[in-house]
Structure formats: structure tokens, C-alpha cells
């Protein structure tokens, strides 16, 4: 199973209401420390820093593009509502014998047209 993609807002350290200027400011501050030309960490952290830089670039590209940002926000809202709906308990029936109740099973409906004379014998 693959891990869910990282949250771009968390990667940049901004809120959902962040403006484009807030995104730019956060991105520039973070990219300065992760860029290979300016990073100060040793070579043992190079792979981790490269992965974090790639995540940062993807997060910035997602949030800076208005269409991609709106699509991401809609997907997050849908996932949140689906997970909360899945966790909400179903209402229980109250009253005597509710736990002994047998579910009602409905079979296919059979319809017969009235006889050709126009007379109908059964109730309407």
C-alpha cells in the first residue's frame, strides 16, 4: 500500500487561507535551506533533502496554480466528508424487539396489464 501524498499546506507551513504572497514567502525561505547549492548538511542527508526539496516543489506548484489548488481543496473536502460519514454510527431502532427485527426483503415487482375489456377486478 502506498502512503498518501503529503499535504502541500503542511509542507509549506501555511494555512488553507494563505495568499499567493504568503506562499511565495514560505517557499523562498524553505527552498533556500533545501537547495543543493545552499544546503549545509552532509552527504548522508542528501537523499532525504532531495526528497524534501521535490515535495516542496510539488507542493508549491500545486498551491500556486489556482486551478490545481481548487481541485486539491475540493478533493480534501470530499475525503474529509467521506471519512466522517464512514465513522458516524448508524442510528439504532428503539422500542421492543428492535434487536430481533428481521429486515424486510422485497422481491421483483410483477405487474400485469388490465384485461382488454377495460374492466379491472382488483382494488386501485
Buried b (16+ CB within 10 A) or exposed e, 17-31: ebeeeebeebbeebe
Give me the helices (H) in 3-123, please.
8-12, 20-34, 46-64, 66-87
* Phi and psi torsions of 20, nearest 5°: -65, -35
Where does the pLDDT of residue 20 fall: very low under 50, low under 70, confident under 90, or very high at 90 and above? very high
Question: pLDDT (tens digit, 9 = 90+) per residue, 38-53?
Answer: 877 565 677 888 899 9
d(CA 55, CA 35): 12
Question: DSSP 3-state assignment of 67?
Answer: helix
pTM of this structure: 0.62
Question: pLDDT (tens digit, 9 = 90+) per residue, 61-110?
Answer: 999 999 999 999 999 998 888 877 666 565 555 555 555 666 666 667 77
Amino acid at each position: 500500500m502506498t502512503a498518501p501524498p503529503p499535504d502541500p499546506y503542511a509542507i509549506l507551513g501555511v494555512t488553507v487561507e494563505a495568499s499567493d504572497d504568503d506562499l511565495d514567502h514560505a517557499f523562498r525561505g524553505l527552498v533556500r535551506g533545501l537547495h543543493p547549492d545552499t544546503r549545509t548538511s552532509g552527504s548522508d542527508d542528501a537523499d532525504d533533502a532531495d526528497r524534501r526539496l521535490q515535495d516542496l516543489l510539488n507542493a508549491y506548484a500545486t498551491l500556486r496554480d489556482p486551478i490545481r489548488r481548487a481541485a486539491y481543496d475540493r478533493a480534501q473536502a470530499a475525503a474529509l466528508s467521506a471519512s466522517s460519514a464512514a465513522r458516524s454510527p448508524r442510528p439504532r431502532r428503539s422500542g421492543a424487539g428492535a434487536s430481533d427485527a428481521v429486515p424486510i426483503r422485497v422481491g421483483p415487482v410483477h405487474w400485469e396489464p388490465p384485461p382488454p375489456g377495460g374492466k379491472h377486478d382488483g382494488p386501485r
